[in-house]
Amino acid sequence: MKLLWLHGLSCSGNTQSFLCAENPTAGELLSRFEVLYHPAVSWEADETEVVRKVLTSSEPLDVFILEGSVGPGARKIAGKEFKTVVKEIARKSKFVIALGNCAVFGNIPAKRSPEVKGLQFRFSEEGGVLGKNYRSLSGLPVINLSGCPAHPSWLSFVLLCILEGGKLKLDEKGRPVEIYAYLTHHGCPRNEYFEWKIEAEELGKKEGCLFYHFGCRGPMTHSPCNRILWNGVSSKTRAGMPCVGCTEFDFPREDMFRTKHAMGIPEELPLGVSKRGYILLAGVAKTFAPERLKKRLIDENQ
């Protein structure tokens, strides 16, 4: 299978993330493809020449990965605007993968210009560079792997599925449901604190929930970050930092480390929870919270 990986408006964070992949490693996985070009690992290949051959070939491209968003006035490849190149390659690709929030939703570059877009979305609006009705030669829309960056295992899962002929089921935002059906909240070791409304008073500590004071987006962010751990060992909430919701269309938000309140109630509540239900449950939970949760896990004075 032939694979082409291009960079749009990007910090290359998804490349750096993928190069840290384990079981399989990035090298092991890429060795199963004929990698036509990757900006970081193709030392001898010439991007312009590779793109020209892909565009003029009568054969379809198996996998096209775009990292980064697309906007006007960007660089040219093979004498064509980058946006035009992306569209033409997408039309002749069996599978198109938008890797990272910039490629999926436009993300940070899109905040600077209304002309900057992801492949099939601009924030929550369908359309993007390819249009909302785009379908690859396989019949799928763009396979969106949102995240800033996306976890390397998420891309490995999709590429292995393509290699093995597996069926990919996508959600309404084009994301694989096997990955994005979960919330960051699922598997978070702070869930008991969340349930009993024991809130963290400062960052970097093992105790307390980070939702009420520090803007944690775990209960409303679709990602398996506490199930598929980063570097195999941790996640933001495990390290004492709130989830910033980097897999969602509205990332990044202003004032990310503060929860906004209205009359003492968070303005945004966990998915599926009504304001009335939250008030009722919070009151009961705080009243009957176990005393052990109000203490330090490790007493440093002992």
Residue 199 CB neighbours (<10 A): 17
Using the 8-state DSSP alphabet, how is residue 250 labeled?
Answer: T
156 shares its domain with 17: yes
Distance CA 60, CA 144 (A): 21
Instruction: For 201-218, write each residue's pLDDT tens digit.
Output: 889 888 999 999 999 999
CATH value at residue 276: 4.10.480.10
Retrieve residue 137's tokens.
Answer: 């030669």
pLDDT digits (tens, 9 = 90+) for 167-208: 999 999 999 999 999 999 999 999 999 999 999 988 988 899
pLDDT at 264: 82
Give the three-state DSSP class for 13.
Answer: helix
Q: Does 147 reside within a domain?
A: yes
Asked whether 137 and 127 are in contact (CB, 8 A), the reply is no
* Per-residue pLDDT, 275: 87
Give the CATH number, domain containing residue 92: 3.40.50.700
pLDDT number for residue 74 = 67
Specify the pTM.
0.93
Q: At which of 136, 152, 178 does a domain end? A: 178
Residues 205 and 228 in one domain: yes
Same domain as 81, residue 25: yes
Per the prediction, the chain carries an average pLDDT of: 93
Q: If you search the block for the tokens 């892909």, which residue do you land on?
A: 54
Does residue 184 belong to any structural domain of this protein? no
Q: Would residue 186 count as lying in a domain?
A: no
Nearest to 175 by CA among 235, 230, 129, 118: 118
In sequence order, what are the residues at sequence separation of 6 or more whose Cβ sits closer than 8 angstroms to the Cβ of residue 90? 64, 96, 119, 130, 134, 136, 142
- Is there a domain that residue 90 lies in? yes
Q: What is the pLDDT of residues 213-232, one digit of tens each?
A: 999 999 999 999 999 999 99
Residue span of the structural domain in which 109 resides: 2-178
Question: Of 131, 153, 178, which closes a domain?
Answer: 178
Name the percent of the chain in helix, strand, coil, to the closest 5: 30, 15, 55
